[in-house]
Amino acid sequence: MEGSRNAPARPGTNLPRIADFNQAVILNAVRHAPEGLSRVELAELTGLSAQSVSNITRRLLDRDLITEAGTLVPAGRGKPRTLLRLHAGGHFAIGVHIDPTVTTVALLDLVGDVVASVRTLPASAASPTRLVGAVTAAAEGLVAATGVDARRVLGLGIAAPGPLDPGAGVVLEPPLLPGWTHVGLRALLHEATGYPVVLHKDAAAAALAELWRGPRGSAFALEDFVFLYLGTGLGAGLVVGGELLSGTTNNAGEIGHLMVAADGPRCNCGQRGCVGAACMPRNLVAEAGDAGLLPRPGTGDREIDDREIDELFTDLCALAADGSAPARRILEASAFRLARGAATVSNLLDVRAVVFGGPIWDRISAVFLPILRDTLLTTTEARQVHPVTALGSSLGADVGAIGAGCLVLEHAFSTRPATLLLGQELEMATLEP
């Protein structure tokens, strides 16, 4: 139809929605001020009237979402002001990270801190049914061990390797989880645990964890960054304007086949030079084996391989740290390729920082970070306008599980303006179970 316009009409907004939104705005402001905020400061920060702030904080106190925590006496004249903080122990979330090497289950409080966590069998060793059983037992065990009231658990988040169909809660055919084909993990875990369940990709969850918890060494509010998640494979989590960019079907961040070199190990896509293959412990360990630095990994079944490779990779990193020049060169070559990939993504999205993390990060950061930092500062296109910084995640190997829990908290705290629009119901209504 000539002249037709494609984008659909957008829905309007109305008063009840505004009340919900403003409540989330207040909750979010309190969340970002761990030292506490007075009602007067909240009104200044948010632009809301004193009366609105007073009504909203009353409701949040009644629901155990915030708590009164001390008194601020202003310098000079002025009444003492009561400080409000998140009530960290008022509500909880469970985060589950499914990785081929190990599955992690963490219990987070309302500020996103880990109250307790447990590691369980590797996902690739388990049928989906066995995994669901193990995760359910772990989650129930954590809740029981910490004495948390299960009614205060807002929900359970899962971080899993892509591709996913997160709308349907289905793990499709992740190359990293052989034998997993169209597994309806969200429904299975909801049935087994009774909690509302949300599913997202591991790298996206890790990016959300950084957004909530923030990397060390960052001088600015990190609202635009890419999280490069280094584990059995490589994935990207994208954050733009303080929000996760998830794509049409929540599958954004598939970065593995980004080309960064003219050669390199053969990727499972059949090509050479893919950034995922250049950073994969399996390939780096094989290269070290070929160079006689390490025993060659066995070629047994996948399950044993994943663990063996992880151990050999630890040995490789230890060799490099102990001064082995050839071991160091293998890691450096990988770092330069990852750096080119990071610069490419940074150019495309115009972010201020690339954050690196995931299960293998702590082992490689000493070699990788200087190379990544230098490449991003000197080769990105926007360097005339702003520097692009390479940062290491401070959340360690649990970043996926923390992120999975943050998926749940995100629903509770969201101030995404889109939640204002009529008809945009959340999948999980978590704050009033």
Q: Which is nearer to a copy of itself, 21 or 333 (CB)?
A: 21
Q: Which is nearer to a copy of itself, 104 or 246 (CB)?
A: 246
119/246 Cα distance (integer angstroms): 27
Q: Which is nearer to a copy of itself, 250 or 283 (CB)?
A: 250
Q: Which is nearer to a copy of itself, 4 or 299 (CB)?
A: 4
Contacts of 147 (CB under 8 A, 6+ apart): none
167/170 Cα distance (integer angstroms): 8
Q: What is the 3-state secondary structure (H, E, C) of 54-99?
A: HHHHHHHHHCCCEEEEEEECCCCCCCCEEEEEECHHHCEEEEEEEC
Shortest Cβ 327–a copy of itself spacing (Å): 27
Half-sphere exposure of 115 (CA within 13 A, CB side): 25
Shortest Cβ 247–a copy of itself spacing (Å): 2
Both tokens assigned to 343: 């610069």
Q: Which is nearer to a copy of itself, 9 or 325 (CB)?
A: 9
Shortest Cβ 253–a copy of itself spacing (Å): 7
Query: Rg of the chain over CA atoms, in angstroms?
Result: 23
Shortest Cβ 281–a copy of itself spacing (Å): 21
Instruction: Tell me the DSSP string of 255-284.
Output: -TT-B--SS-SBPTTS-B-BHHHHH-HHHH
Check residue 295 and give left, alpha or beta (phi > 0: left; psi -120 to 50: alpha): beta
Per-residue exposure over 212-247, b if at least 16 CB sit within 10 Å of its own CB, e if not: bbbbeebeeebebbbbbbbbbbbbbbbbeeebbbbe
Q: Which is nearer to a copy of itself, 114 or 121 (CB)?
A: 114
Shortest Cβ 109–a copy of itself spacing (Å): 12
Q: Which is nearer to a copy of itself, 194 or 417 (CB)?
A: 417
Contacts of 348 (CB under 8 A, 6+ apart): none
Shortest Cβ 138–a copy of itself spacing (Å): 26
Shortest Cβ 306–a copy of itself spacing (Å): 22
Contacts of 43 (CB under 8 A, 6+ apart): 49, 50, 52, 53
Shortest Cβ 393–a copy of itself spacing (Å): 13
Q: Which is nearer to a copy of itself, 102 or 176 (CB)?
A: 176
Both tokens assigned to 368: 């990788």
Q: Which of 250, 229, 3 is nearest to 97 (CA)?
A: 229
